[in-house]
Amino acid sequence: MKKTIILLSIVVALLLTLPLSAQKRSNQITTSGSTTVLPIAQAAAEAYMDKYPNINISVRGGGSGVGVAALQNGTVDIANSSRPMKSKEIAACKSKGISPSFYAIANDGIAMVVHPSNTVKNLTVAQIRDIYTGKIKNWNKVGGPNLPIVIISRDVASGTFEVFNEKALKSAKVDGTAQMLASNNAVVTTVASTPGAIGYAGLGYVNKDVKVIQVAGVTPTEATIKNASYPLSRKLYMFTNGKAKGEIGKFIVFIQSAEGQEIVKKQGFISLN
């Protein structure tokens, strides 16, 4: 009877530890978060698992805020984010016993995109803000055609929205007519099919179906993003609970390595160095 009780106690103790910390799952890595980081994380995970077949890496999207919340709740090993972690998120992590560490994995620029038929080539940051807040409603007010502007934006759970809100809008409220979309792909697709539209997306999502315009006379290129002369430059991140160790640490080191940074570039983003 005593042996049975001891055995049950051991089983219960093991069950209580099932929400394993990131460092204890030696062959399984879970990630979620930014849809901007998603293609980098997916391609890097595939390459890493090809090199190390015993490792299983799960990659999900959902938005930067979703990834950070999952890290706070201990349900993922890595939170992918297209923005720095907010001070209130750091505080929330610490209140739950999570000590976040931050790893830059790529450079990126938020590209402003319009329909290819649009003759506008450049907008100032102030003009972008006035468009997104509804003060400018027609393209002819900024040197374009006599055409109503259709505002396309990311949703508020997006890290891309957060950075755009900070750098372009200065925290001003987006006009109520804006279409708030859940992914970079959705933004690009909608702009490509809407002559009056303007949108923004991570550089890796830009394709020939849309036209990239300059911001304050600067085109988003490798050079202007690395030296931050492009006004909407940013870094992409992975967050972990504590210093990344074991396979989690090795995976992040792999992404930051020369091989990993080649993957970053193949996905259309800008390498760290």
Whether 2-107+236-266 and 108-233 share one fold: the answer is yes
Reply yes or no on whether the pLDDT at 142 is more than 50.
Answer: yes
- Architecture in CATH of 2-107+236-266: 3-Layer(aba) Sandwich (3.40)
Partners of 151 in beta bridges: 198
Structure token digits, residue 73:
């709740």
pLDDT at 10: 43
Reply yes or no on whether the pLDDT at 12 is more than 50.
Answer: no
Task: Give the residue among 252, 255, 234, 258 at the shortest CA–CA distance from 64.
Answer: 234
Domain 108-233: top CATH class:
alpha beta
Pairing of strands 78-81, 122-123: unpaired
Residue 71 near residue 50, CB atoms below 8 Å? no
pLDDT at 157: 87
Domain residue ranges in the chain: 2-107+236-266, 108-233
Give whole-number Cα distances, 7 to 4, 15, 145, 184, 211, in Å.
5, 12, 77, 52, 66
Q: What percent of the chain has pLDDT over 90?
A: 89
Q: pLDDT tens digits for 33-45? A: 999 999 999 999 9
Q: pLDDT tens digits for 170-225? A: 999 999 999 999 999 999 999 999 999 999 999 999 999 999 999 999 999 999 99
